Chains A and B, each alone.
Chain A
Amino acid sequence: MKTFTLGGVHPEENKLSADKAIEVLPLPEKVYVPVSQSLGAPSKVVVEKGATVKTGQLIAKGESFISANVHSPVSGKVVKIDDVIDSSGYKRQAVFIDVVGDEWEESIDRSPEIISEITAERDTIIKKINELGVVGLGGATFPSHVKLMVPDGKKAEYLLINGVECEPYLTADHRLMLEKGEEMMIGISILKKALGVSKAFIGIENNKPDAIEHLRKLCTRYQGIDVIPLKVKYPQGGEKQLIKAVVNREVPSGKLPIEVGCVVNNVGTALAVYEAIQKNKPLIERIVTVTGKSVTKPSNFMVRIGTPVSLLIESAGGLPENTGKVISGGPMMGKALTSLEAPVVKGTSGILIMPVEESKRTQVLNCIRCGRCITACPMGLEPVLLAQLSENLMFERAEAERIMDCIECGSCHYTCPAGRPLLDYLRLGKNKTGLLIRNRGKK
């Protein structure tokens, strides 16, 4: 069975909600839609306070090349444009909307039938994806239209679809593949057309045999799409790891996957692309897993963007008493929330509730130089060295040691027997080194 070669760990899978069908969450009373929901420059608000908006109406426009439009996920009245504490703990500009009914824009096709014929041309596809605010739903929220524009001189050979879902606990992508497989397949065909590639691979870890089987059946009807089962190993869902595992190519340091002729998209993105092109529907909802060992009803919800996290937790049986942390995302890369009023954004793949005893960090001891972090690093870096360099503010040296290649997967921190906060320091180092590089470019 295929997998990537360098490093990696295998945490407990805990896919508690894997057999729970996707439920559509009832509309919230109010939503807070952060303006900046993707990588790149923040988008500019185009609605005013007091305005009435329809579901799917544009409310913030991405103005630079790498930024995405934001659409209203509900219909109702714009109450105010103010700051809201988002999942990062910082206040960000958001549009506050009070929900009134559920009136959609007329251009959106809401019928349940599946349109399999792809009529749109390459340029229209990219333009529409850009307009309808589709971003990578794997977590990094990179605007999708940018990925589809292959730079001059490069050629895309393969489209890789990421159905790995290597983060423990999360099952949103798993359910999506099972229940929206058909739509996803058409989405993949659209992406293939936009990129001009003839071959697409869907990488799925073999802890999801039902999804593999289901998609294999569908593949017989769609040309040039293959399912590749992969051995379970974290962080296989990382772009570079997936490329290595599926087509056995290595992306050079500091380069994008297109360098080796690959474009990687998440299964959720493929579905969003289908809805955008065939149904004219902007990215206003996504599937979010609400899970945790103490949660009474682990579930997968179809949620409108901007819904407060507290509402999701309520629908999953309420917040357990001994909750220590509520994490946005998975246990490996997710971030602990500081406020349950934080809204669901395009990049929210899961809400994980951890009991007190599990959420505690272990005591930090001295490094015993065992080198486990080096063995675990899927990028072939030396986390112990990089963490020390960041701790001592030696960012130039850290740059030379390729700190910018770190994908922040947390395997080093997970594996450290001394409980050292390696990832924390690596993130700090990446942040500061990035700043250093950007400042250098300005001079």
Chain B
Amino acid sequence: MNETIVFAVISLSAIGGTSAVILYFVAQKFKVIEDPRIDIVNEKLPGANCGGCGLAGCRAFAEELVKTGDLSKLNCPVGGSDVMKEIAAVLGLEPEEKDPMIAVLRCSGSRVNAPQKVVYEGASSCAFAHVLSSGESGCPNGCLGLGDCVVSCKFDAIYIDDTTGLPVISDENCVACGACVTACPRSIIELRKKGKKDRRIFVSCVNTEKGGPAKKNCQVACIGCGKCVKECPHDAITLQNNLAYIDYDKCKLCRKCEPVCPTSAILELNFPPRKEKAGETEKVAEPVKEV
């Protein structure tokens, strides 16, 4: 009786021991040498795997960072400068200051500003509506309001406003990963500098038609008159294809362009109300931000 037990214990221990030795050598032979810093960096990242950095996920981002050791080209838009600073500390590098960005909707074609002319009944997807027709208001560049951006957002930062029919981007939730920018078939959403105290000025229109046809479909369309270009003291505004564009790197947020725009296509967000213009009538374009 005892003998059986002893025999079993000894033989199993022998098998275990031999296997351990084999496993040890195999492990030595096929060892993957990985930089331990990758794990540390990966820990610091938000772990959303959104792809906003342009890589397949947070792990890939960490690997790339450690491999290249270059912070200038890589940036985690979700974590922002805080996370990048921590990572820089881990890697012993100088952190690069990057301005925080935010997604901005460059269309004010709400149901009031750009009234519906035809009814679209097809598949509920902007991508398809864009292929099929010019949209319910007739504007070939404006927001279709079917919410491809809402579906693409992994941070719950976009919803479609029922009254305006336009997407609303939440300042708090948006991490500027850029998923909505890619999802929008009409390239209406743009990543722009968040700005000091969240203050931003931009042309809220992407219509490249001539003034007349553009205004016919939408009363707040940019008609390409060029008044803002002349007004801007910093050369930040350019006019291309009947459309003004404000370069956010050059813009000093002086607010001179906004009052000269005849169609109120330029929007300014989060600024204090103007003192001298207090008596003026309310603008037609409602600010897009509402959170």
Contacts and interface: CB of A to CB of B under 8 A. Distances in A.
Decide whether A and B assemble into one complex.
yes
Contact of A91 (B121, B132, B140): B140
Contact of A421 (B123, B127, B213): B123
A85 B132 CA distance: 13
Contact of B118 (A338, A360, A361, A391): A338
A428 B125 CA distance: 10
Dominant secondary structure of chain B at its interface with chain A: loop
Given A90-B140, A91-B140, 12 more contacts: A88-B133, A89-B132, A338-B117, A361-B121, A393-B127, A421-B122, A421-B123, A424-B128, A424-B132, A425-B123, A425-B125, A428-B131
A424 B123 contact: yes
B138 interface: yes
Interface string B115-137: 00110011101011001111000
15 contacts: A83-B213, A85-B138, A88-B133, A91-B134, A335-B132, A338-B117, A338-B118, A338-B133, A360-B121, A391-B125, A424-B123, A428-B125, A428-B128, A431-B131, A432-B127
Nearest to B138: A338
B128 A89 contact: no
A155 interface: no
Contacts of A336: 118
Interface string B88-119: 00000000000000000000000000000110
A382 B128 CA distance: 20
Interface of B: 117-118, 121-123, 125, 127-128, 131-134, 138, 140, 209, 213
Nearest to A424: B123
Given A83-B213, A338-B118, A424-B128, A90 B123 contact: no
Contacts of B121: 360-361
A428 B118 contact: no
Contacts of A88: 132-133
Contact of B134 (A338, A421, A424, A427): A338
A168 B267 CA distance: 51
Interface string A24-45: 0000000000000000000000
A90 B133 contact: yes
A260 B106 CA distance: 52
Contacts of B118: 89, 336, 338
Interface string A80-95: 0001010011110000
B133 A427 contact: no
Nearest to A425: B123
B146 to A, nearest CB: 12
Contacts of B138: 85, 338
10 closest Cβ contacts across the A-B interface? A89-B133, A424-B123, A428-B128, A421-B123, A338-B118, A424-B122, A361-B121, A89-B134, A431-B131, A90-B134
A427 B138 CA distance: 21
A432 B133 CA distance: 15
Nearest to A422: B123
A431 to B, nearest CB: 5
Contacts of B123: 391, 421, 424-425, 428
Interface in A380-436: 391, 393, 421, 424-425, 427-428, 431-432
Contacts of A90: 133-134, 140
A135 to B, nearest CB: 23
Contacts of A391: 123, 125
Contacts of A83: 213
Interface string A320-337: 000000000000000110
B98 to A, nearest CB: 30
B127 A428 contact: yes
A425 B118 CA distance: 21
A54 to B, nearest CB: 31
B128 A427 contact: yes
B131 to A, nearest CB: 5
B183 to A, nearest CB: 9
A93 B16 CA distance: 81
Nearest to B183: A393
